[in-house]
């Protein structure tokens, strides 16, 4: 697979960086959205990727001893119109000790599914969104992302699969009944 011309979207200290959803629980599309001034970028990703990013970010912030704080963070919906720039394949996370900032990179899928380490000057390669945010913003991102992931359909107490409003066939109950 030949690469297309690479596109870099770099948000240093964006006005806003959040995870958000479109649609109803059970049929939600997940996005990361960054805005600086008039520029808004949205990239699509899976719920499990949002959960993993929040978890790794939380661990990173704990490791570098960034205090928890009570700021509730950004609870506004995603900004419309939501134009999916690309679907996220791999993500990378780094701590810049010098500026005490978190660097989050999301890129389009690669052939092997791995994260492609490329210099910014590379002409070809996966599209990349890079966001650099300070620690309090990162903590607020984590809180919002965790709430977002948790606010989906409730889990079935028997099998842990998401419950639809009309119930579901529960494998753990073993009798094929609709719970």
**Among the listed residues 121, 130, 131, the one whose alpha carbon sits nearest the alpha carbon of residue 6:** 121
135/61 Cα distance (integer angstroms): 7
Where in the chain does DSSP place strands (E)?
8-12, 16-22, 29-36, 39-45, 84-87, 90-96, 101-107, 128-134
Instruction: Please enumerate in sequence order all residues whose Cβ is within 8 A of that of 138, keeping only pairs 6 or more positions apart, or say none.
Output: 57, 61, 66, 102
179/177 Cα distance (integer angstroms): 6
CB distance 93 to 60 below 8 Å: yes
Helical ranges in the chain per DSSP H: 47-63, 135-150
Q: In the prediction, which pLDDT does 110 show?
A: 85
Q: Give the CA dihedral 45, 33, 54, 160, nearest 10 degrees.
A: -50
Residue with token string 């992931």: 149
Q: In the prediction, which pLDDT does 174 show?
A: 63
Structural domains of the chain in order of their starting residue, each with its CATH number: 8-150 (3.30.2450)
**pLDDT tens for each residue of the chain, 179 residues long:** 455 789 999 999 999 999 999 998 778 899 999 999 999 999 999 999 999 999 999 999 999 988 776 666 788 899 999 999 999 999 999 999 999 999 999 999 888 888 888 999 999 999 999 999 999 999 999 999 999 988 877 777 777 777 776 767 777 766 555 54
């Amino acid at each position: 697979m030949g690469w297309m011309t690479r596109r870099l979207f770099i948000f240093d200290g964006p006005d806003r960086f959040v995870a958000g959803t479109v649609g109803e629980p059970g049929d939600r599309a997940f996005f990361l959205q960054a805005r600086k001034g008039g520029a808004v970028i949205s990239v699509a990703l899976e719920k499990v990727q949002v959960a993993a990013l929040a978890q790794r970010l939380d661990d990173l912030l704990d490791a570098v001893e960034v205090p928890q704080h009570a700021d509730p963070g950004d609870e506004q919906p995603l900004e419309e119109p939501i134009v999916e720039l690309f679907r996220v394949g791999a993500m990378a996370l780094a701590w810049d000790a010098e500026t005490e900032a978190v660097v989050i990179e999301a890129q389009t899928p690669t052939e092997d599914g791995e994260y492609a380490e490329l210099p910014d000057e590379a002409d070809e390669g996966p599209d990349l969104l890079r966001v650099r945010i300070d620690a309090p913003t990162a903590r607020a991102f984590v809180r919002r992302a965790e709430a977002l992931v948790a606010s989906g359909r409730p889990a079935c107490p028997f099998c842990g699969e998401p419950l639809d409003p009309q119930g579901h066939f529960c494998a753990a109950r073993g009798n094929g009944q609709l719970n």
